[in-house]
Amino acid sequence: MMRSRKTLGIQPIGYDGAVASERWWGAASILLVLLTVLVFIPGLSDEFTWDDNGLIRTNENIQRPERYGEALTSHFWNVSSDAAQANETYNHLYRPLVTAAYIVQYRLFGLHAAGYRAVSLALHALCCLLAFFWLRRRIPPGDEVHRLLAIGLGAALFAFHPSRAEAVSWISGSTELWMCALVLLGALAFDSNRNWLAGLLLAAALFAKESAIVAAPLLLADRFLLQERRERSASIALTAPVVLALLVRIWIVDVELPSAETSGAVPRVLSSLGLYAQQIFAPWNPTAFPGMRVYDCDGGESLQAAWWLGGTLVAGALLALGIAAFRRPAWRPVLADALWVVVPLLPVANLIDLGSRNLTADRFLYLPMLGVASLLARGLLWMFAKRSSLGKTAATVVFMLVLGFAFVTSLHARVFASSASLWEYEVKRNPDNPFALHAVGTARTRAGLLGSGFDYLERAQILATRSCVRDDQLRASKDVAWALALRTSQDDRSALLALQTTYRRAARDAVFEYSGPPGWSIALTPQEARDLLSEDLQFALPRATLEARLGHIDAAAQILRDQAVRSDSLHPLSQGLRLRLVAAQGRVEDSLSELGQYPAVADAGSLTVVLSTLRETLSRTNLAADAQARLAQYALGFGQAPPDADNLPSDARTVLDALRAYETGAPVDLASLELEGAKHSELSAFIQLAKARAEVQRFDDELRGLQR
């Protein structure tokens, strides 16, 4: 007589058990999304960071409908400002899906960065949810509670690993999010035998980021290693749309890699893999510049032994795993997971040296962490199967580790809240990071912290002179020259003339040389000379500033007009100088009118107050138009005091002197200004502006003291 399942001690799950199980899975997925949002909320600021400014804030190609066609049919870094990358490789990236996303987001949010950041967080939450489902399909059956715990911890690792912050909390990192979401959707479709749909999704992922090219081979490897299936029709359906997308991409934007070097590939690739392993397993002190490349004038590039030794171990482990999988099919699922870690890293493992300043980046781990999550879940489930106590201990350790990762990630998300917070963090983490020094120095200089900003730029130049990296040396020299043009006293005419000679010789003789301290001399190649002459912020702006400060108003205006023709637009700082030059030509009213049409002008509010105060003061002088123009030049810090200033009433002279001091960065006589303010209520806004500038200068002095 047959015995029942109950007599044998086997309790069938049944319908009610299955429903309860699905509820637990559903609750776990909701909890994962909620915790993900909670961890990354600190990064939801309303400021753009680093490349966000060039790609979105100042990029008219995504802001003006008549330029949408150009934006979608040209390389990713074809932006309307001079923010394009110096590395030529970036001019061969084609990511129209991300560009289209920026266009839509600009229509929705304008220049409110918080909206873009919220979209990135929503995309990450979607990727985490898809990763959870992907792991559930991928990990073999077992005890349902143990399986839920293992997969949940794997998905949590994917969601909260510190490498996520760069992709999620930095708007420009959203390329990884779009690519990963589409790859995961394609993987789920392929697992459901919707092969053509999977192919189309992977083709779309290729238009989000080039690394998606590895997704189709990974899915085919999965089908063989996990299911031992080889289906030609499925392979064709999966790869045909990807190949077509690749051909379209090559037709629109070529894939030429200019100046690419393959020499030294083996140690460079091994070092990259070692660094990625370090970023995965020891991410406690994350940085935007892992593996900063160090050069010296004698021995070239220096790669740390720990990096390439780590990479050698990774390569050896993968080889051993491949041999084990060949001999024992039980190891094939582990090999499949490992391939998801290593293969997506191959496009960014520096097989070809493209001249990047750091070997790796945290955001490049976004897709590979799927493989790490799968390895973790599979390993935990194996431990539970071996011995329940072993699995519980391991799960507890992993839970604490993931909790620590979440804490680090939440803190690091704050770092990407603004360019200032990012670069200040990077300088503190590595005081010898020339790129971070450059960024902090230029940011402080733009913010009016001319003293401390110059100190950072000068330090970056000192580091550049110790290396043979010509790009660093040239950039550092341009930075220092730009800062000197802004901070040199109006009374130091000899220094102003020396800087004027520096820029004129660069344009005439292709030699970038400055005779004063700190001093440099760089003979420019024809390409370097062309690039320098085309730069708005680092050439046209300081050159025009110097001409204006020396009293050559028409020459300065011509420089900016020529730059506007070359670049089709001017940097916000250059626009501010152009409007000052318009006012200095006696057209203060025209300048104010134009200022209302260009809200993106740097410090538009401050400039409005300055010009309004100048207009009101000049109107009380009753002088002829040409005399008022000379006084406007003087008040805006251009040239020397004209004879007309000596005959002015004391109140007008006090205000004009205060305006000049404010515009040249000199101390403003607030006591005298406030006496005049008691007589003229319209001065109150400028007095508040001058007080704010005084606080900035005081803060600048304090910063310099701390730096020293």
The pLDDT assigned to 11 comes to 38
Q: How confident is the model at residue 9 (pLDDT cuts 50, 70, 90)?
A: very low
Q: Among 380, 415, 450, where does a domain finish?
A: 415
The pLDDT assigned to 682 comes to 67
The pLDDT assigned to 257 comes to 54
Residue 620 in this model has a pLDDT that exceeds 90: no
Here the tokens at position 50 are 């680093």
**Does some domain include residue 605?**
no
447 vs 636, residue with greater confidence:
636
C-alpha count within 13 angstroms, C-beta hemisphere, residue 438? 20
Residue 221 in this model has a pLDDT that exceeds 80: yes
Residue 401 sits in the same domain as residue 440 = no
3-state secondary structure of 261: strand
620 vs 409, residue with greater confidence:
409
**Does some domain include residue 615?**
no
Q: Using one digit for the tens of pLDDT, what is the confidence trace for 138-184?
A: 998 878 889 999 999 999 999 999 999 999 999 999 999 999 999 99
Residue 165 sits in the same domain as residue 304 = yes
- Give the residue numbers spanning the domain of 437: 431-534
Contact of 635 with 591, CB cutoff 8 Å: no
Task: Tell me how many domains the chain contains.
Answer: 2
The pLDDT assigned to 84 comes to 46
Residue 433 in this model has a pLDDT that exceeds 90: no
Q: Using one digit for the tens of pLDDT, what is the confidence trace for 191-203?
A: 998 999 999 999 9
9 vs 394, residue with greater confidence:
394
The pLDDT assigned to 70 comes to 86
The set of residues, in sequence order, having a beta carbon less than 8 Å from that of 31 and lying 6+ positions away, is none
Q: How far is CA 643 from CA 341, 652, 705, in A?
A: 74, 14, 40
What is the arithmetic mean of pLDDT over 244-263? 73
The pLDDT assigned to 18 comes to 59
Residue 353 in this model has a pLDDT that exceeds 90: no
How far is Cα 172 from Cα 55, in angstroms, rounded to an integer?
Answer: 8
Q: Using one digit for the tens of pLDDT, what is the confidence trace for 357-413?
A: 788 999 999 999 999 999 999 999 999 989 989 989 999 999 999 999 999 999 999
How far is Cα 553 from Cα 322, in angstroms, rounded to an integer?
Answer: 71
The pLDDT assigned to 589 comes to 92
The pLDDT assigned to 198 comes to 93
Residue 75 in this model has a pLDDT that exceeds 50: yes
Residue 372 sits in the same domain as residue 495 = no
**Does some domain include residue 264?**
yes
The pLDDT assigned to 4 comes to 41
3-state secondary structure of 512: strand
What is the arithmetic mean of pLDDT over 501-514? 90
Percent of the chain residues past pLDDT 70, beyond the cut: 91
Residue 39 sits in the same domain as residue 146 = yes
The pLDDT assigned to 276 comes to 94
The pLDDT assigned to 3 comes to 40
**Does some domain include residue 58?**
yes
Using CB atoms within 10 A of its CB, is residue 263 exposed (0-12), middle (13-18) or buried (19+)?
exposed
What's the whole-number average pLDDT of the chain? 86
Q: How confident is the model at residue 689 (pLDDT cuts 50, 70, 90)?
A: confident
The pLDDT assigned to 521 comes to 87
Residue 255 sits in the same domain as residue 328 = yes
Q: Among 496, 517, 534, where does a domain finish?
A: 534
Residue 72 sits in the same domain as residue 140 = yes
Instruction: Provide the residue type at 266 as one letter.
Output: V
Contact of 105 with 158, CB cutoff 8 Å: no
Nearest to 44 by CA among 352, 331, 413: 413
Residue 112 sits in the same domain as residue 203 = yes
Q: Which of 356-360, 440-444, 462-466, 468-472 has the lowest mean pLDDT?
A: 468-472
Nearest to 628 by CA among 600, 664, 652, 597: 652
Instruction: Tell me if the bond preceding 329 is cis, omega within 30° of 0.
Output: no
**Does some domain include residue 681?**
no
Residue 230 sits in the same domain as residue 345 = yes
Q: Using one digit for the tens of pLDDT, what is the confidence trace for 562-579?
A: 888 887 778 888 888 999
What is the arithmetic mean of pLDDT over 258-285? 83
Residue 518 sits in the same domain as residue 369 = no
Strands 511-514 and 520-523: antiparallel
Q: How confident is the model at residue 230 (pLDDT cuts 50, 70, 90)?
A: confident
The pLDDT assigned to 171 comes to 94
- Kindly report the number of other CB atoms within 10 A of residue 505's CB atom: 15
Q: Name the packing angle between helices 113-138 and 174-191 (round to 10°).
A: 30
Residue 447 sits in the same domain as residue 403 = no
Q: Using one digit for the tens of pLDDT, what is the confidence trace for 63-74?
A: 888 888 888 888
3-state secondary structure of 125: helix
Q: Which of 79-83, 111-115, 591-595 has the lowest mean pLDDT?
A: 79-83
Ramachandran angles phi, psi of 296, nearest 5°: -135, 160
Residue 470 sits in the same domain as residue 335 = no
Residue 219 sits in the same domain as residue 103 = yes
Q: How far is CA 93 from CA 75, 250, 258, 260, in A?
A: 5, 10, 13, 15
**Does some domain include residue 578?**
no
Residue 456 in this model has a pLDDT that exceeds 60: yes
Residue 110 in this model has a pLDDT that exceeds 60: yes
Q: Helix, strand, coil shares of the chain as percentages rounded to 5?
A: 75, 5, 25
Highest average pLDDT, of 90-94, 367-371, 467-471, comes from 367-371
**Does some domain include residue 45?**
yes
**Does some domain include residue 481?**
yes
Q: How confident is the model at residue 685 (pLDDT cuts 50, 70, 90)?
A: confident
- DSSP symbols for 588-643: HHHHHHHHHH-TTSTTHHHHHHHHHHHHHHHHTT---HHHHHHHHHHHTT-SSPPG
Residue 12 in this model has a pLDDT that exceeds 70: no
- The helices-and-strands tally (H runs, E runs) of the chain is 32, 4
Q: Among 415, 441, 467, where does a domain finish?
A: 415
Nearest to 461 by CA among 438, 428, 484, 482: 438
